[in-house]
């Protein structure tokens, strides 16, 4: 224990010596700067007497008529004086030999001497203790007498102007006081723990008294260290919570009161906060039990309240010195208090923690309103209190709710914060709202069941928490985008575009996953051919939903001139076109196919109709957008190809159904012949449909004077010709080849006739 005592004392003294040396170096630096400024001022002063004029010049000048009562020489101000050049500021001069001598002899030796004195007294006492020359009580008394003597000597030397030497004596005396109290309790058991606590508190108070009296931060740091080391030095290994935290509370009150008087001692504020919570967490880790919840929460609230009250008092008072340090301390106080409180409350009473967090957030919000009314210029403080209140509100929501509920309430809170930020004209508030919207989006997407409901038995189309969460977030994002039109902000347009694009994509995802889960549930319950039909129906449903969803988006986008909504609508339509073109080429199950009266044909008609409507809207707005002409051409080509895809699929599936039944109802020899015949008819019908469709496109292109349609018709003619000459000629029977080539020849001659007959119309439209 004695070795530990000496180590603690050594650490305290080293910190003390280091701090005083730093302060002394700052003083010498300031003195050097003052010395340099003084020399600069002297160099700027003009000479006391004007330069003597040459005698010859004075003789040549006529003698002016002067009054006998006036001086014969003109005033100095009348003579032009050269303007001295202002010297540039230079670096502080290095220490002179005398300054180094003063630093080493006057300060460093003082600190070493004080430390040596403490060690010497300690070694003497240890020698006396080991040989039982002095009783235990007398040993402690000697320590107190020695400490008091050093304090008295420090006071005397301070009056004589030897401040640095006096600080060394005072520091040594206080250290010996701490040592004596510690020894009386831990080594000799002369006093009880409460008495030792009182003595330590008195020594700490005496330290701060001397620190303030002599304006010595070094002495104050020594008192701070001694005050917070006391619980460790006087610990008995028992959980005396009330005694320990009462002592810490009183110590904090004293320290914070000193900080109100000594503004320059700001470094003690973060040290005090850190030491307070360090002692608490050390105690909580070792001694806390659930029965002590309310007492522990009370003392935690007291600790928080002391720093919180000091912060509010300074803000109202208008204190702006060391503002960044104090802002950091106040923020750390809120964070540490919440972490400590959550650690003891949430484990036992999870439902209470959300209410506690919400109440704490309300306190910070009300404080923000109070400061905003009393000190509206305290920008940093207002920002910190609002962000703290927002953070606590978000945390309270996370504690109270789960999964999609959290996303719903975060979305509503984000919208409210956007409005508040614009109403109060506080940029950081709506920035926090945007961050919260992003957090709500991430929470929604990564919540279990967001993209695939589980379990499927609980799924109800659109009447579920997932759909509500998607709808609420989409609505709040859209409303936020509308609110951002009210402010003049550099990035306001970009923010609006992102928000509009976000809610459009969210609704697209919602309708897709809802329809997907609807078919997943039906597939889960189905068997046999129903599974194949449901899979095909799911793809058709997606194409129908996406094309229908694109209509209100594009309409709203054109009406409000909002590009992200327009592009979202066109993107949804494009996905619908790709889906129906790829998955709709073959009807499934083929046994349930009915020509033109089927689910696929209906979806094709819907997608084509939606595309036609889009082309009309785009044509009406082609002057407003430089990309409209290209997009219009793409949509027109898509309509032509969709019609071709529909006619091809319907034609093929007529024969595929017949082939399917031929295989089911006939013998092997009859089935083979019948299937071959149907396959030949299928290819002949496809060639005929493509040829007649090409003719129809050519007629429409000539009639409407649309070169694009005519080019597509020619391209389709080319594809059909290749099919007939390559496939039909190789695989069809002779009779079907004859019909195929005759039909091709007739149609090509008819097209040639149309080109010759309407040549003027065609080439005039091309100009």
Q: State the maximum Cα–Cα separation within the chain, in Å, rounded to a whole number.
A: 155
Band of pLDDT at residue 89, cut at 50, 70 and 90? very low
Q: How many CB atoms are located within 10 Å of the residue 339 CB?
A: 11
Whether 565 maps to a domain, the answer reads: yes
Mean pLDDT on 249-273: 92
Span 654-678, pLDDT tens digits: 989 988 888 776 556 667 777 877 8
Mean pLDDT: which of 404-413, 422-431, 617-626, 702-711 is highest? Answer: 404-413
Span 485-498, pLDDT tens digits: 888 878 889 999 99
Q: From residue 384, how far is each of 247, 309, 378, 421 by CA, in Å?
A: 30, 15, 10, 14
DSSP assignment of 604-619 equals: HHHHHHHHHHHHHHHH
pLDDT computed for residue 64 by the predictor: 44
Lowest-confidence region among 110-114, 298-302, 635-639? 110-114
Whether 517 maps to a domain, the answer reads: no
Q: Does 74 have pLDDT greater than 60?
A: no
Q: Based on the fold, state whether residues 582 and 559 are members of the same structural domain.
A: yes
Q: Based on the fold, state whether residues 548 and 593 are members of the same structural domain.
A: yes
* Pairwise CA distance, residues 741 & 261, whole Å: 108
pLDDT computed for residue 160 by the predictor: 77
Phi, psi of 761 (to 5 degrees): -65, -45
Long-range contacts of 759-764 (CB under 8 A, 24+ apart): 761/702, 761/705, 762/702, 762/705, 762/710, 764/705
Q: Based on the fold, state whether residues 10 and 102 are members of the same structural domain.
A: yes
Please identify, among 371, 401, 426, the residue that sits at the C-terminal boundary of a domain: 371
* Pairwise CA distance, residues 586 & 599, whole Å: 12
Q: Report which secondary-structure segment, H or E, holds 309.
A: helix 293-317
**Residue 598 vs residue 79, higher pLDDT:** 598
Q: Based on the fold, state whether residues 680 and 760 are members of the same structural domain.
A: yes
Whether 478 maps to a domain, the answer reads: no
Contact 539, 523 (CB under 8 A): no
Q: Based on the fold, state whether residues 157 and 262 are members of the same structural domain.
A: no
Q: From residue 305, how far is each of 118, 240, 325, 429 by CA, in Å?
A: 39, 22, 18, 25
Band of pLDDT at residue 107, cut at 50, 70 and 90? low
Q: Based on the fold, state whether residues 256 and 334 are members of the same structural domain.
A: yes
Please identify, among 236, 262, 295, the residue that sits at the C-terminal boundary of a domain: 236
Domain that holds residue 182: 1-35+98-236
Contact 208, 254 (CB under 8 A): yes
- Residues 588, 590, 596: CA angle, nearest 5 degrees: 90
* Pairwise CA distance, residues 437 & 481, whole Å: 12
pLDDT computed for residue 122 by the predictor: 63
Contact 429, 386 (CB under 8 A): yes
pLDDT computed for residue 78 by the predictor: 42
In the chain, % of residues over pLDDT 90:
42
Whether 471 maps to a domain, the answer reads: no
Whether 102 maps to a domain, the answer reads: yes
Whether 208 maps to a domain, the answer reads: yes
Lowest-confidence region among 318-322, 371-375, 701-705? 701-705
pLDDT computed for residue 687 by the predictor: 79
- Residues 95, 97, 100: CA angle, nearest 5 degrees: 65
Mean pLDDT on 47-59: 42
Span 4-29, pLDDT tens digits: 444 444 444 445 445 545 555 565 56
* Pairwise CA distance, residues 25 & 299, whole Å: 41
Q: List CB contacts of 461: < 8 A, sequence separation 6 or more.
A: 514, 517, 518
Q: List CB contacts of 487: < 8 A, sequence separation 6 or more.
A: 422
Q: Based on the fold, state whether residues 224 and 275 are members of the same structural domain.
A: no
Mean pLDDT on 166-170: 75
- 8-state DSSP, 103: I
- 8-state DSSP, 77: G
Structure tokens at 98: 């005398």
Mean pLDDT on 410-416: 97
Span 464-485, pLDDT tens digits: 999 999 999 999 999 999 999 8
Q: Is 527 exposed, middle or buried (0-12, 13-18, 19+ CB in 10 A)?
A: exposed
* Pairwise CA distance, residues 557 & 500, whole Å: 10
pLDDT computed for residue 585 by the predictor: 87
Q: Which has the closest alpha carbon to 224: 69, 70, 15?
A: 15
Whether 59 maps to a domain, the answer reads: no
pLDDT computed for residue 749 by the predictor: 63
Q: What value does the CA radius of gyration of the chain take, rounded to a whole number of Å? A: 46
Please identify, among 183, 206, 236, the residue that sits at the C-terminal boundary of a domain: 236
Lowest-confidence region among 264-273, 437-446, 753-762? 753-762
pLDDT computed for residue 38 by the predictor: 62
pLDDT computed for residue 474 by the predictor: 97
In the chain, % of residues over pLDDT 70:
74
Span 209-220, pLDDT tens digits: 888 888 888 888
* Pairwise CA distance, residues 169 & 167, whole Å: 5
Span 592-646, pLDDT tens digits: 899 989 999 999 999 999 999 999 999 999 888 999 989 998 998 999 999 999 9
Lowest-confidence region among 229-238, 416-425, 613-622? 229-238
Q: Does 273 have pLDDT greater than 60?
A: yes
Mean pLDDT on 535-550: 95
Q: Based on the fold, state whether residues 601 and 699 are members of the same structural domain.
A: no
Mean pLDDT on 522-526: 81
Q: Based on the fold, state whether residues 1 and 109 are members of the same structural domain.
A: yes
Q: Report which secondary-structure segment, H or E, holds 495.
A: helix 492-525
How many domains does the chain contain in total?
4
Q: Based on the fold, state whether residues 541 and 659 are members of the same structural domain.
A: yes
């957008």: which residue's tokens? 625
Q: Based on the fold, state whether residues 270 and 188 are members of the same structural domain.
A: no
Q: Does 208 have pLDDT greater than 60?
A: yes
Mean pLDDT on 228-253: 85
Q: Which has the closest alpha carbon to 218: 23, 2, 480?
A: 23
Q: From residue 551, how far is each of 307, 548, 568, 609, 620 by CA, in Å?
A: 58, 6, 10, 10, 15
Whether 201 maps to a domain, the answer reads: yes
**Residue 100 vs residue 462, higher pLDDT:** 462
* Pairwise CA distance, residues 628 & 638, whole Å: 15
* Pairwise CA distance, residues 334 & 697, whole Å: 74
Q: Based on the fold, state whether residues 642 and 695 are members of the same structural domain.
A: no
First to last CA, the chain: 107
Mean pLDDT on 138-159: 80
Instruction: Find how far residue 441's CA is from the centre of its chain.
Output: 14
């Amino acid at each position: 224990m004695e070795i530990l005592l000496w180590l603690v004392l050594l650490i305290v003294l080293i910190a003390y010596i280091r701090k005083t040396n730093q302060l002394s170096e700052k003083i010498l630096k300031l003195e050097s700067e003052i010395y340099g400024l003084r020399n600069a001022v002297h160099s700027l002063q003009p000479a006391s007497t004007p330069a003597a004029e040459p005698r010859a010049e004075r003789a040549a000048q006529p003698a002016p008529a002067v009054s006998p009562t006036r001086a014969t020489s003109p005033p100095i101000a009348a003579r032009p004086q050269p303007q001295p050049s202002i010297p540039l500021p230079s670096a502080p001069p290095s220490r002179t030999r005398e300054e180094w001598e003063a630093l080493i002899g006057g300060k460093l030796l003082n600190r070493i001497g004080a430390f040596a004195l403490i060690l010497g007294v300690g070694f003497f006492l240890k020698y006396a203790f080991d040989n039982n020359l002095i009783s235990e009580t007398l040993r402690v008394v000697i320590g107190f007498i020695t400490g008091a003597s050093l304090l008295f000597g420090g006071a005397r030397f301070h009056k004589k102007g030897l401040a640095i030497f006096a600080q060394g004596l005072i520091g040594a005396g206080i250290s010996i006081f701490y040592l004596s109290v510690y020894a009386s309790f831990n080594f000799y058991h002369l006093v009880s723990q409460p008495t030792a606590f009182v003595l330590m508190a008195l020594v700490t108070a005496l330290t701060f008294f001397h620190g303030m009296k002599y304006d010595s931060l070094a002495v104050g740091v020594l008192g701070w260290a001694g005050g917070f080391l006391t619980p460790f030095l006087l610990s008995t290994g028992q959980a005396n919570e009330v005694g320990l935290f009462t002592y810490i509370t009183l110590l904090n009150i004293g320290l914070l009161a000193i900080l109100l008087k000594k503004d320059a001692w700001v470094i003690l504020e973060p040290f005090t906060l850190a030491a307070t919570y360090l002692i608490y967490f050390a105690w909580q880790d070792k001694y806390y039990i659930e029965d002590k919840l309310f007492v522990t929460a009370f003392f935690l609230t007291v600790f928080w309240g002391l720093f919180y009250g000091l912060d509010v008092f300074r803000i109202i008072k208008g204190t702006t010195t060391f503002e960044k340090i104090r802002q950091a301390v106040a923020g750390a106080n809120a964070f540490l208090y919440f972490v400590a409180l959550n650690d003891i409350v949430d484990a036992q009473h999870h439902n209470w923690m959300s209410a506690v967090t919400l109440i704490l957030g309300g306190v910070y919000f009300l404080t923000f309103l109070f400061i905003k009314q009393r000190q509206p210029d305290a920008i940093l403080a207002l920002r910190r209190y609002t962000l703290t209140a927002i953070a606590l509100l978000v945390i309270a929501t996370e504690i109270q709710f789960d999964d999609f509920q959290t996303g719903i309430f975060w979305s509503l809170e984000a919208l409210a914060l956007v409005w508040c930020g614009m109403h109060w004209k506080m940029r950081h508030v709506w920035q926090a709202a945007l961050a919260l919207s992003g957090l709500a989006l991430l929470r929604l997407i990564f919540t279990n069941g967001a993209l695939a409901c589980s379990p499927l038995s609980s799924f109800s189309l659109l009447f579920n928490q997932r759909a509500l969460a998607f709808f609420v977030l989409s609505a709040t994002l859209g409303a936020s985008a509308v609110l951002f039109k009210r402010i003049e902000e550099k990035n306001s347009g970009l923010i609006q575009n992102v928000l509009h694009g976000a809610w459009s994509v969210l609704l697209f995802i919602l309708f897709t996953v809802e329809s997907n889960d609807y078919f997943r549930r039906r597939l889960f319950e189905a068997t046999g051919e129903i599974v194949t039909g449901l899979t095909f129906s799911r793809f058709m449903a997606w194409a129908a939903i996406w094309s229908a969803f694109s209509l209100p988006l594009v309409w709203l986008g054109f009406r409000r001139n909002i590009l992200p909504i327009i592009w979202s609508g066109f993107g949804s339509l494009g996905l619908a076109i790709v889906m129906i073109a790829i998955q709709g080429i073959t009807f499934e199950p083929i046994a349930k196919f009915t020509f033109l009266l089927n689910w696929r044909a209906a979806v094709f008609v819907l997608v084509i109709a939606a595309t036609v409507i889009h082309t009309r809207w785009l044509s009406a707005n082609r002057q407003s957008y430089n990309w409209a002409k290209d997009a219009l051409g793409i949509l027109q080509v898509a309509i032509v190809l969709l019609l071709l895809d529909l006619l091809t699929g319907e034609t093929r599936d007529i024969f595929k159904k017949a082939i399917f039944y031929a295989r089911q109802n006939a013998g092997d020899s009859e089935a083979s012949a019948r299937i071959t015949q149907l396959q030949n008819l299928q290819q002949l019908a496809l060639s005929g449909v493509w040829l007649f469709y090409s003719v129809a496109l050519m007629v429409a292109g000539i009639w409407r004077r649309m070169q694009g349609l005519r080019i597509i018709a020619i391209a389709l003619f080319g594809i059909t010709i290749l099919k007939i000459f390559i496939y039909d000629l190789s695989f069809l029977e002779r009779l079907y080849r004859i019909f195929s080539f005759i039909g091709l020849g007739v149609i090509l001659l008819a097209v040639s006739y149309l080109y010759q007959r309407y040549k003027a119309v065609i080439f005039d439209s091309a100009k």
